[in-house]
Structure 1
Amino acid sequence: MTGNRITYRTVDGIRVPGTWRHVFIRNVRHHLTDLFIYADGLVDCWGLVTLEEFGGKLRSGWVATELPEGAEASAFELATWKFGEPRTWLTPETLVAEIRDTIDQLNGRPDSTDRCLAAVDAFLADRTEEKRAAARDAYFAIPRTQRPYALGDMDRKDRPLQVPVAGPGGFAARRPDEEITQEVYDRALAYFEDRAKWRAEQRSRVPADGPATPVAPAIHLCQSHPLEAPDDPGTEALRNEYPAPVEVDGVTYPTVTHAYWSLSAADPAVREAVARAGGGTFEARSLAAGADRREGWEQARTAVMAALLRAKYTQHPHLARVLLSTDDATLVYDDIASGFWGDNGGRGRNWAGRLLELVRSELHAGRSSPR
């Protein structure tokens, strides 16, 4: 399971998403280290290898799934210890199966748990022995360590899943000496009927204050440097360098970018020069770049930018309409010179896009406020 452990590597300029987990390697002593898993099927544990090659490292014991009593171990720059009564649930086969599931998850494909639940649904819809056998095979294809989590029910764990795939008169995987009665079987089927109803309700339920994710597709605001406002700029008008004069504290700036860089400078002479820079936003940025920043600028810059964006869209209603027309789309803003303001292929923080979304929300609020 990838959880929140998100990483990536770059191949020919393309980001390959990945995640990581802890493993032990055996190099004289056991070392706790990270195993990186990537969507293209490669894994990195002291060297980037294919999953088949990684299986060889497991079989050789270099990546350890057995932890001997009394063996020395370490976590780099953190601690050393000896194993006392160690317990591990992993085998080489289980770890490889878990990694395969992780690769499926990184690619948005059904993993072994998803495939099992789909096979169980198929059996419940058409209760033939053939489909029960397919569901049973799919259940045992889930790594043993992951089966208790398959239903997302930590009270019952996977008990309701074991029963229908075994059937009346069969034996559940975790209780091989206890024959499944018809009553137990019927209760398991009722569990899945209730679960199907609950899932249908969850899918159709909308949070009281609206959906958690955007309805409209994301909009990419590519970098541009127009010197004149075109008749129909489209979303290009949402860029900070778009020629839309903004007035702040009695000073009119050609663009939001001019205003931002002017207000960032500590020297009043530089501020004035930037405000009147005639070579477009590139000249404004260049003039400010060599000057000292205002004290506390790093902490204040997002508030300043938010105020400038409010000014832009308040003073130019036609541009406010362009911003409002983006509905609730995520606004992905590029800024080659700044990973703070720009998304820049997922490597930046996209603060310019996020503040545009904030101002858009404020504009919507202004239109819908009660009178």
Structure 2
Amino acid sequence: MDRIYRVADGRRIEGVTRPVFIHNFSYHLTGLQIYADGAIHCWEWVDLDGLRRKLDSGWVVTEVPEGAEVSAFELGRWKTAEASFGLTAEMLLGEVADDIERLNDRPDSTDRCLTRLDRYLATRDEDDRRALREAYLAIPEHKRHYALGDMDRKDGPLVALATDIGEPPIGGWFQVEAITESMRDEALRYFAERDQARTEYANKRPADDPEKPVAGTVHLGGRVFPKGPPEKAGLDVLQDEFPAPIEVGGVVYPSVSHAYWALSTADRGARERIREAETPSEARKLAAESARVEGWPDARTAVMAGLQRAKFAQHPRLAAILLGTGDAPIGYGGMDSDHWATRGDRGRNWSGRLLELVRSELQAQAAGIEIPGSDARPSGTSLR
């Protein structure tokens, strides 16, 4: 199915399409358009009852007779030979009715059946079992064996509950003449074991998960310090722009941002001018006027990771503040690059992600956990 929509009276109405044949002299494969307001287009506008009439009249069909001519959009024409079709008119009507429910975020026939199942399992009341039977039969026939989502048992346990004792199975894959009391009991055991397994799965946590839920997101970025940072800068000290001098390759830079932009250019003179810039913003502007180091876009994330490690290794007080964020996700805003920042559903947030990485490394160090390969560096790499 494809998602579609139409606009009516200034509002967007969601829809889906289903393939059907229109019989208009020859047979035409087309898309049956189904919308959330119940409108259905099959070369004419109808509702669900209208679609039934179109099926009864033969205007909409789900199969094509042997030897009939078929056209498919603009792809071509052919005649049917030994064709096989699996959808009846009633099945299609059931599918379309379910489409309309789902488009309105309402339970479809399978959802309603499973709700009835839960009620019966809770009450074991005969009236609730009869309601379960009706709800099961309301599912389009070709969809019933998917109701439980069990590829092995299909809908067998559901049929065993919905069918009266002594009655032939009303569906499913049973090869028996009638449902017995033992089959009913087996179905009840099936659902009890299923519910227990679901509960265990819902409560299961990966072995390396934290014991407590992850804290709420910490949001950074956007603050500048033209007159120097306040005495209590709080979490703003984690920003790349915060004036925390770092030494890289024997050169001291006023901030991570200064170092990043200086190292991004191949012009040695420009590097020094960037290093001496009064603010990170000025450093960025100076860097923009110079050529980038070859391959910089692919290397920049690794360079930033090294600079952040240097910052927190050389400033234990700032490292303590970073550690104080616990396991909270860090959202970094206030930058003009979607690579480094996040803005709602935009941005890759690499500055925030790298802060989380460095924080984890600091936590490992504090816990005495060795980080494999932490002393290794690929040959030829340098921050100089």
- After TM superposition, the structure 1 = structure 2 runs for residues 76-225 of structure 1, keeping only pairs within 5 Å, are 85=83, 87=85, 91=92, 93-95=94-96, 97-98=98-99, 100-101=101-102, 104=105, 116-136=113-133, 138-139=135-136, 147-169=144-166, 171-174=169-172, 179-210=178-209, 215-225=214-224
Contact 1:264/1:297, CA 8 A, preserved across alignment: yes
SS of aligned partner of 2:273:
helix
> For residues 292 and 97 of structure 2, what CA distance do their matches in structure 1 show?
53
Aligned to 1:241: 241
Inter-CA distance 352–127: structure 2 relative to 1 (3 Å threshold) = same
CA displacement at 1:126 relative to structure 2: 1.0
Aligned to 1:226: 225
> For residues 61 and 267 of structure 2, what CA distance do their matches in structure 1 show?
63
CA displacement at 1:240 relative to structure 2: 1.9
> For residues 235 and 143 of structure 1, what CA distance do their matches in structure 2 show?
57
Contact 1:256/1:308, CA 8 A, preserved across alignment: yes
CA displacement at 1:370 relative to structure 2: 5.1
CA radius of gyration, larger in: 2
> For residues 150 and 133 of structure 1, what CA distance do their matches in structure 2 show?
17
How many residues end up aligned between the 2 structures?
335
1:110-153 CA-partner distances (Å, limit 9, x unpaired): 77655544442332121112332444455456666654444332
The question of 1:57 aligning with 2:35 is answered no
> For residues 194 and 328 of structure 1, what CA distance do their matches in structure 2 show?
36
Aligned to 2:282: 283
Aligned to 1:356: 355
CA displacement at 1:362 relative to structure 2: 0.9
CA displacement at 1:168 relative to structure 2: 3.0
Q: Identity of counterpart residues, as a percentage?
A: 42
Please give the TM-score of this superposition, normalised by the length of structure 2. Answer: 0.70
> For residues 217 and 116 of structure 1, what CA distance do their matches in structure 2 show?
38
> For residues 269 and 300 of structure 1, what CA distance do their matches in structure 2 show?
21
> For residues 256 and 191 of structure 1, what CA distance do their matches in structure 2 show?
60
Mark the runs of 5 or more structure 1 residues left unpaired by the alignment: 8-17, 36-44
Inter-CA distance 244–26: structure 2 relative to 1 (3 Å threshold) = farther
Inter-CA distance 92–113: structure 2 relative to 1 (3 Å threshold) = closer
Please give the TM-score of this superposition, normalised by the length of structure 1. Answer: 0.72
SS of aligned partner of 1:155:
coil
Contact 1:73/1:81, CA 8 A, preserved across alignment: yes
CA displacement at 1:305 relative to structure 2: 1.0
Alignment root-mean-square deviation, CA = 4.3
Inter-CA distance 51–217: structure 2 relative to 1 (3 Å threshold) = same
> For residues 271 and 314 of structure 1, what CA distance do their matches in structure 2 show?
23
Inter-CA distance 25–91: structure 2 relative to 1 (3 Å threshold) = closer
Output the amino acid matched with 2:320: R
Output the amino acid matched with 2:286: L
Inter-CA distance 70–311: structure 2 relative to 1 (3 Å threshold) = farther
Aligned to 1:294: 293
